[in-house]
Amino acid sequence: MRPFQYIRPKNVKEAVDMVSLEENARFIAGGTNLVDLMKRNIETPDKLVDITHLPLKKIEYHSGTLRIGALALNSDVAEHAIVNSRFPLLAKAIDAGASGQLRNMATVGGNLLQRTRCAYFYDTAFPCNKRQLETGCAAVGGINRMHAIFGLEKNDLEKSCIAVHPSDMCVALAALDAIIITFGPKGERKIPIQDFHRLPGNRPDLDSILEKGELILAVELKSNTFQQHTHYLKIRDRAAYAFAIVSAAVALDVQQDQIRAARVALGGVAHKPWRLFDVEKALAGKPISQNTFRNAAAVSVADAKTFEHNAFKIKLLPNVILEALMNAAGLEPSYD
């Protein structure tokens, strides 16, 4: 790990000024991802601006809006009474991520900004466009079992990236149409989560649309009618402390066994949490049944692009969505 300067700013504005005016400064809070990257010399900041003492930890619910401070711990969010009663999908997704020890350290803001766990990104012996632009993507011709199948159709893969976003929490936030509140050199702004994370394109080194020195203040969720029928299903190689091969966050608004509206988002399949708007449209207005769910799930892979080792996701994904929808609806899945 390279030497670095450590600073504790007095307030949010001072923190933003410190990072925006320094070429190689970074915010640090829980550090559960950043410190690992620093140990491997993948991230090499000259200055760390510690924001853990700033007043951004509150979890509040007012006038139909849940506001989660960026420094709220993942474990505190998952255990919060309002989150569990009104936004249970978020609690389920957070509980599926990492380990208890990490959830007790990791913050909501850090979870939003965590970097891919692609093995080629972490191993500096291999070329990686995310680490260093225009060096190549070792995963394209390498072992790509865990890699993306969506968001790739317009990319020049030699200059791009097929890594996936690692967060479970963000998949639920995508399904729930979260808003990210930030403050930067240009002031405060509100960013829909659909716009927050980037597809790789020709700048795979950038994971989000945040500008230099821009700090996440909070995440907001509006009240919804989905809390009675939600499920988060994560397929992984072991039962705990493993990243998703494929995951699905689903939420249904059901009245008299009819689906009024649906939300479906995926993890483990793209450079960002992936909303399936076509699947949602296929569910709306339909009766609750396994046939409804199976037909809608079949739409999910229409735009998928696979590589040598991840073509199995084409078959796996509709089954994951089907099982998640069946669980959300309280039905017992049966398999042919």
Quote the CA–CA distance of 280 and 44 in Å, as a whole number.
42
Fill in the DSSP letter of residue 301.
Answer: G
Q: What is the pLDDT of residues 247-281, one digit of tens each?
A: 999 999 999 999 999 999 999 999 999 999 999 99
Cβ atoms within 10 A of the Cβ of 74, count? 25
- Supply the pLDDT for residue 239: 87
Topology of the domain comprising 230-329: Enolase-like; domain 1 (3.30.390)
Residue numbers of the chain with a pLDDT score lower than 50: none
Beta bridge partners, 27, equal 49
- The two domains 1-54 and 230-329 share their CATH topology (first three levels equal): no
| Helix ranges, 163-276 (H) | 169-175, 193-196
CATH class, domain 1-54, is alpha beta
Cβ contact 113:219 at 8 Å:
no
Helix or strand or coil: residue 67?
strand
Domain boundaries, the chain: 1-54, 230-329
48 phi/psi in degrees, rounded to 5: -110, 125
Tell me which amino acid residue 29 is.
A
Predicted TM-score (pTM) of this structure: 0.97
Q: What is the pLDDT of residues 60-115, one digit of tens each?
A: 999 999 999 999 999 999 999 999 999 999 999 999 999 999 999 999 999 999 99
Considering only CA atoms, which of 45, 91, 50, 35 is closest in space to residue 68?
A: 91
Tell me which amino acid residue 113 is.
L
